[in-house]
Amino acid sequence: MMSNRLTELLEEKDVLLADGGMGTSMFAVGLANGAPGELWNMEEPEKIKKIHQDFVDAGSDIILTNTFGGNLFRCKLHSDEANADPININGARLAREVADAAGRPVIVGGSMGPSGEMLIPLGERPVEDVFEAFKGQAAALKEGGADVAWIETMFMDDELDAAARACDEVGLEYVSTMTFDTGGRTMMGLKPEDAIKLVDSRDWHPAAFGANCGIGPAQLIDTILGLSMNNEANRILIAKGNCGLPGFDDEMKIVYDGTPEIMAAYAIMARDAGARIIGGCCGTAPQHLAAMRKALDETPRSNETPTHDMIEEILGPVKVTFEVPKSPGLPG
φ and ψ of 256, to 5 deg: -115, 145
Taking CA atoms, 244 is separated from 254, 288, 292, in Å, by 12, 11, 14
pLDDT above 50 for 2:
no
Evaluate whether 217 touches 263 at the Cβ level (below 8 Å). yes
Residues 137-153 have a mean pLDDT of: 98
Structure confidence by residue, pLDDT tens digits, 289-305: 999 999 999 999 999 99
Structure confidence by residue, pLDDT tens digits, 190-211: 999 999 999 989 989 999 999 9
Structure confidence by residue, pLDDT tens digits, 20-62: 999 999 999 999 988 999 999 999 999 999 999 999 999 999 9
φ and ψ of 193, to 5 deg: -65, -25
pTM attached to this predicted model: 0.94
Which domains are seen in the chain, by residue range? Answer: 5-315 (3.20.20.330)
Structure confidence by residue, pLDDT tens digits, 75-130: 999 999 999 999 999 999 999 999 999 999 999 999 999 999 999 999 999 999 99
